[in-house]
Structure 1
């Protein structure tokens, strides 16, 4: 019988990537947790052969019921100010609730989507709750002795076409990012292509290890995850190169009006810290597990150029 992975927020950007990678492997059964099982994305995933389960992400019983019978859980928390999230629970409390439910449901492995710890002293920002809540959750999961890996993500390059952050006019392409300087090195993750197969590689490493999961070398480790290190300026130049259209790049000072000040603080952290400055990308852990990551050139060719042709 195939092992089951339950994917929290399974119809979101991370959830879709993870769900499809596990489903397409032919090794796993996928249980997609969603607040709206009748939505278009959920129904499309159902047609692909995945199990769709309605779950209340702020209710212990609902989560335990949804997790029961699964071998692994992909755990995601969402800031309560996020435009697509209608609940009220803070991220740390969401993470604790999911971890406790996973333990109660006898889950073997928790795969937690996290971010680096910033802390209150960094640049006088008073912390970055978008990052710090997730990082504190790592510590809680470790404290309850639940086998887990902390997958520490980076800048989602997919926002270029999903938000989107570019617009084609009659004479040029207008492209922008928030706060981060044009040539500041950060780490980009192609979520749709690379997140799911990276998570799958880690899960398979645990499943096939033949040893107690708490003794696995990746247990309770933070695994930075990104496709490449680069700059927003490089992205703009690659768009111009592949389209032959002048691309004007603008840095917008903050993201307050569109989102929340916590997101602006996260961008300030990226601009001043760069994200995982001592880590090689793509990460050696995942390369050793056989993951082949996408490149900037492939991303622009596959996702951005087709979108611009349709506009």
Structure 2
């Protein structure tokens, strides 16, 4: 039995949607020690992770001192930034400032690989929107990380299909005889890149990290260093999602496109959806990408997602 010390990955917001996927994938590999950063170590998911052998560390992604302690001795960091208007957070720093802080602390802690969850750059001139800070703050962070020479890969995330059941985007109407499914701003038939975060984000990040760790070369010389890697499970439409829910549940599903996300979320999110609807995310890229398939990552699909995560919400009720 090997007694080699496992490399550590520190996962920022390790109990959040992206962090959970990262934490589970790296822990399940058996090759990594997972350090979960969370504001609330007593939460149910944090306690579950602790029982599974992960290290739980209380840390604030806006606080340099707590980040420094959490990153100490880590070989890799998974970094994510959160918009200040997000409903579940009370952070004060913008996303660019959060990303710069995390990158600087990682550099000081001698972290070898920085995996950063990012989005495309839109810029102030697109459609008179004045920029889309939800995207642009992350994209500017890519450039900063590169400028300080910290080995990194920028994981370009698209629409999260998980939101269908986590927000949720589907509910019973008319006494359960029908379902209403909705999305924000994006037309039903507009091509969209979807990522099944729970299933595919963690395994993709793990494959990247292992490629760097086992390359036998300086990380700065790895061909994927400082590259943007668009990450998606499949390309489809919100209309296809609605139809698949109807097919699997056998319940008529009404699809509504809500004009904006302002009331529930924030105008910055609405602008992001406007960009998606008019430009698309990574419109010329085929998903899953060759980078990840060459690394051996196997991705989920719409049929399996609905079967596992959405249909049981309604099929059980209808049979009671």
Q: TM-score, normalised by structure 2?
A: 0.96
Aligned to 2:164: 160
Alignment partners' CA distance in 2, 1:284 and 1:148: 19
> Which of residues 37, 51, 56 is equivalent to 2:55?
51
* Counterpart among 70, 87, 91 of residue 91 in structure 2: 87
Alignment of 1:27-46 (within 5 A): 27-46=31-50
| Equivalent residues in 2 for 1:101-116, closer than 5 Å | 101-116=105-120
1:310 CA displacement: 4.5
Partner of 1:221: 227
* Residue 309 (structure 1) shift: 3.0
Q: d(CA) in 1 for partners of 2:303 and 2:280?
A: 21
How many pairs were matched up?
A: 311
Show the 5 A alignment for 1:92-171.
92-169=96-173, 170-171=176-177
Shift of 1:24: 0.2
> 1:256-295, aligned counterparts within 5 Å?
256-295=262-301
Q: How far has the Cα of 1:56 moved from its partner?
A: 1.7
Counterparts of 2:228 and 2:13, CA distance in 1: 21
Structure 1 portions without partners, runs of 5+:
none
Q: TM-score, normalised by structure 1?
A: 0.99
Question: How far apart are residue 168 of structure 1 and its match?
Answer: 1.7
- Map of 2:307 onto structure 1: 301
Tell me how far apart the structure 1 counterparts of residues 250 and 280 of structure 2 sit (CA, whole Å): 30
1:202 aligned residue: 208
Name which of 185, 188, 208 aligns with 1:182.
Answer: 188
Write the distance in 2 (CA, Å) between the matches of 1:273 and 1:284: 22
The one of 74, 80, 95 aligned to 2:78: 74
1:26-72 C-alpha deviation (Å, 9 max, x unpaired) = 00010000011111111111111110000021111111110001100
Q: Point out where structure 2 has 5 or more consecutive residues left out of the alignment.
A: none
Spell out structure 1 runs of 4+ moving beyond 3 A: none
Shift of 1:18: 0.3
SS of 1:168's equivalent?
A: strand
Deviations 1:134-169 (A, max 9, x none): 000000000000000000000000000000010023
Give the Cα separation in 1 of the matches to 2:181 and 2:60.
37
CA contact (8 A) 2:181 2:255 kept: yes
2:198 corresponding residue in structure 1: 192
Task: Tell me which residue corresponds to 1:9.
Answer: 13
Q: Distance in 2 between matches of 1:208 and 1:8?
A: 23
Q: Deviations over 1:247-295 (max 9, x none)?
A: 1000000000001000000000000011101101011100000000000
